């Protein structure tokens, strides 16, 4: 790599100034006076407001975090085999990855799905696919997270219907749907409907689960994808909590009492390589959300103040070069998540920068969590970094900087207005550009990629999705459509359209639809006819 003279100067300056991803300058040494003046009294106890030290008084002394590996590819049958393998290997929760057509509401036989069926997740078009996905997995014995957003109501309806088939009542189901549409407009792009009807679907799910699925986390407000798009740790906290504020306000505006739905909110954060900043980030997010819920929204239930979160190690930090190095990165990121008090954790596989993970790579990723839990001793004491001057100082700084961002977003009219104005996207793009410049100049060392490289690396064995699965999925759908009661399907789609044009909660009719073999695509096409599709404003 050739380095220009200005770039060499920047590298030298980096050696003289040490800072986090959020440009928080790190001192040479931290002393007691560097921690916030009132930190000892303000911290509180674990399990108590403001929950800086954790949401449970015993944390991992009571039980370990849920080890929830994100998985899903090809057909429901193949993904089911992967889930059962992971459960046999000691995984304690399921996490479903859906393919792109499913994520944006298309059946496997839709022309829009051509070439994408089963590629980045499992293909789910009907209740039969969902039943095959969880065959021989008792839904009252596991908790399931589903990374699904725009059609989250439909996939949850399918899960509820499969539970009924297994004899499991909805009030016994445990898990999470991501259901976070705002970050799709910001960072990920798997939206279907415009913001207003999308928020209606979200609040309908909140209200339905309060009564019918009380153990279900109704949303996983995601900073993960925002961070993957290139933001800093401070921005991850600020933009995620700003989105959370928007969801809470939308639910209140829909007539829900804050304490009726807030305990079922959950969050999803990234874990990157800067260990100290990441630990402080998790603590800061917990503290700030507690303040927001108690002081801004007047929540009375202490469970409404708690920020419970899932963590995934940083996909964007993985390198295609020297993929074994990713095992080390993932271990350190997972360690930061545990030291920061996560409730559940996914550890990325070493080969995910190249392809869907192999079974061997998945096993190593799961073993990483198990080694942290059983061999390091960090789970034996609550809040193991309590009292660290640098951690307390960074936590306080992240809280302050995130609060400043949230105030700017409030001044614009809230997260939705800030998204529409392009503010959040531009902030992320600027941060991503600065990071890219640092990597390209060598200022930010990426081991095995821009330093310590190896010529002519051997290509590891990769998982390949059989392209024939698309034809197989189409055939299954054709067979189902031929055998089902299509007059009943038409009747139910008419009822769904009427309900969508009104104000009734849509979850009950969605459950009825999927039980009667109305497909995901048919439901979403019906709703498109009422709600329309979102078209972003793009300027060059």
What the block records as the tokens of 349 is: 């596989």
How many secondary structure helices (H) and strands (E) does the chain include?
22, 9
- In the structure encoding, which two tokens stand for residue 171, read together? 């009030």
Task: Report the length, in residues, of the chain.
Answer: 540
87 φ, ψ to 5°?
Answer: -65, -40
DSSP, residue by residue, 132-201: HHTTT--TTT-EEEEE--TTHHHHHHHHHHHHHHTT--GGG-EEEE----HHIIIII----S-HHHHHHH
Longest dimension (CA), the chain: 74
Which percentage of the chain shows pLDDT scores above 90? 90
Tokens, residue 48: 């108590």
Residue 480 lies in a domain: no
Average pLDDT, rounded, for the chain: 94
Q: Is residue 93 part of a domain?
A: yes
Question: How far is it, in rounded angstroms, from Cα 9 to Cα 26?
Answer: 20
Helix axes 520-531, 195-212, angle to 10 degrees: 130
| CA–CA gap between residue 254 and residue 242 (Å, rounded) | 19
> Does the residue 159 lie in any domain?
yes
Contact 284, 237 (CB under 8 A): yes
Instruction: Extract the tokens encoding 503.
Output: 């104000």
What are the CA-CA distances from residue 348 to residues 316, 317, 351, 369, 388 (Å)? 10, 10, 8, 11, 28
Distance CA 366, CA 189 (A): 29
Q: Is residue 455 part of a domain?
A: no
| pLDDT over 70, % of the chain | 96
pTM, rounded to two decimals? 0.93
Total of domains in the chain? 1
We report the CATH number of the domain holding residue 139 as 3.20.20.240
- Residues 150-180 have pLDDT tens digits of 999 999 999 999 999 999 999 999 999 999 9
Question: Does residue 314 contact residue 273 with C-beta atoms inside 8 Å?
Answer: yes
Q: What does the pLDDT look like over 28-46, one tens digit per residue?
A: 999 988 888 776 667 889 9
Peptide bond into 332 cis (omega under 30): no
Decide if 520 is inside a domain. Answer: no
Question: Tokens 């749907």, residue?
Answer: 177
Backbone angles phi, psi at 49, to 5 degrees: -50, 135
Domain containing 259: what range? 9-441
Indicate the pLDDT class of residue 4, thresholds 50, 70 and 90: very low
Beta pairing partners, 98: 122
pLDDT at 539: 54
**Residue 56 covered by a domain:** yes
Q: Is the pLDDT of residue 72 over 90?
A: yes
Kind of pairing, strands 216-217 and 174-177? parallel
What local confidence, expressed as pLDDT, does residue 5 receive? 45
Tell me how far apart the alpha carbons of residues 238 and 285 are, in angstroms, rounded to a whole number: 8
Structure confidence at residue 387 (pLDDT)? 86
Which helix or strand (DSSP H or E) is residue 265 part of?
strand 265-271
Residue 15 confidence class, pLDDT cut points 50, 70, 90: low
Residue 487 corresponds to which tokens in the numbers above?
């007059």
Average pLDDT over residues 69-80: 94
Model confidence band, residue 1 (pLDDT cutoffs 50, 70, 90): very low
In a domain, 210, yes or no: yes
pLDDT digits (tens, 9 = 90+) for 395-405: 999 999 999 99
| CB distance 510 to 157 below 8 Å | yes
Question: What is d(CA 261, CA 265) in angstroms, rounded to the nearest whole number?
Answer: 7
In a domain, 463, yes or no: no
Q: Beta partners for 336?
A: none
């Amino acid at each position: 790599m050739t380095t220009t003279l200005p770039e060499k100067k920047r590298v030298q300056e980096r050696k003289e100034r040490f800072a986090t991803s959020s440009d928080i300058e790190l001192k040479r040494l931290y002393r007691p006076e560097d921690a916030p003046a009132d930190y000892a009294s303000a911290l509180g106890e674990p399990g108590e407001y403001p929950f800086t030290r954790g949401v449970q008084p015993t944390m991992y002394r009571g039980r370990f975090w849920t080890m929830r590996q994100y998985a899903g590819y090809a057909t429901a049958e193949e993904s089911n085999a992967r889930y059962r393998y992971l459960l046999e290997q000691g995984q304690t929760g399921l996490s479903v990855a859906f393919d792109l057509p499913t994520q944006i509401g298309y059946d496997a036989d839709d022309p829009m799905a051509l070439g994408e069926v089963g590629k980045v997740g499992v293909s789910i078009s009907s209740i039969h696919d969902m039943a095959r996905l969880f065959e021989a997995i008792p839904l009252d014995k596991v908790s399931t997270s589903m990374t699904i957003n725009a059609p989250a109501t439909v996939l949850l309806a399918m899960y509820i219907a499969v539970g009924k088939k297994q004899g499991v009542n909805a009030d016994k189901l445990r898990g999470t749907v991501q259901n976070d549409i705002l970050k799709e407009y910001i960072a990920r792009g798997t939206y279907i409907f415009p913001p207003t009807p999308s928020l209606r679907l979200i609040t309908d799910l909140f209200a339905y689960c309060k009564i019918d699925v009380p153990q279900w986390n109704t949303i996983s407000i995601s900073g993960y994808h925002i961070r993957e798009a290139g933001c800093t740790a401070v921005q991850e906290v600020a933009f995620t909590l700003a989105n959370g504020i928007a969801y809470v306000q939308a639910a209140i505006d829909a007539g829900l009492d804050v304490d009726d739905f807030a305990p079922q909110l959950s969050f999803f954060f990234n874990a990157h390589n800067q260990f100290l900043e990441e630990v402080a980030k998790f603590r800061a997010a917990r503290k700030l959300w507690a303040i927001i819920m108690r002081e801004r929204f007047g929540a009375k239930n202490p469970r409404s103040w708690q920020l419970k979160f899932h963590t995934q190690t940083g996909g964007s930090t993985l390198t295609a070069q020297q993929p074994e190095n990713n095992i080390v990165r993932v271990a350190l990121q997972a360690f930061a998540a545990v030291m920061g008090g996560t409730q559940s954790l996914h550890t990325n596989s070493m080969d995910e920068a190249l392809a869907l993970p192999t079974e061997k790579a998945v096993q190593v990723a799961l073993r990483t969590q198990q080694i942290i839990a059983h061999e390091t001793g960090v789970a034996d004491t609550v809040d193991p970094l309590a009292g660290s001057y640098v951690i307390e100082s960074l936590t306080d700084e992240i809280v302050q900087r995130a609060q400043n961002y949230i105030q700017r977003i409030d001044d614009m009219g809230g997260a939705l207005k800030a998204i529409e104005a392009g503010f959040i996207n531009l902030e992320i793009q600027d941060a991503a550009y600065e990071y890219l410049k640092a990597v390209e100049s060598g200022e930010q060392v990426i081991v095995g990629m821009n330093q310590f490289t190896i010529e002519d690396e051997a290509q590891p064995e990769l998982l390949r999705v059989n392209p024939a699965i698309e034809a197989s999925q189409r055939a299954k759908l054709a067979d189902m459509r031929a055998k089902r009661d299509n007059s009943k399907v038409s009747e139910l789609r008419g009822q769904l359209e009427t309900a969508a044009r009104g104000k009734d909660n849509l979850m009950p009719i969605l459950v009825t639809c999927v039980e009667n073999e109305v497909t995901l695509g048919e439901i979403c096409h019906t709703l498109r006819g009422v709600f329309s599709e979102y078209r972003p404003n793009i300027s060059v």
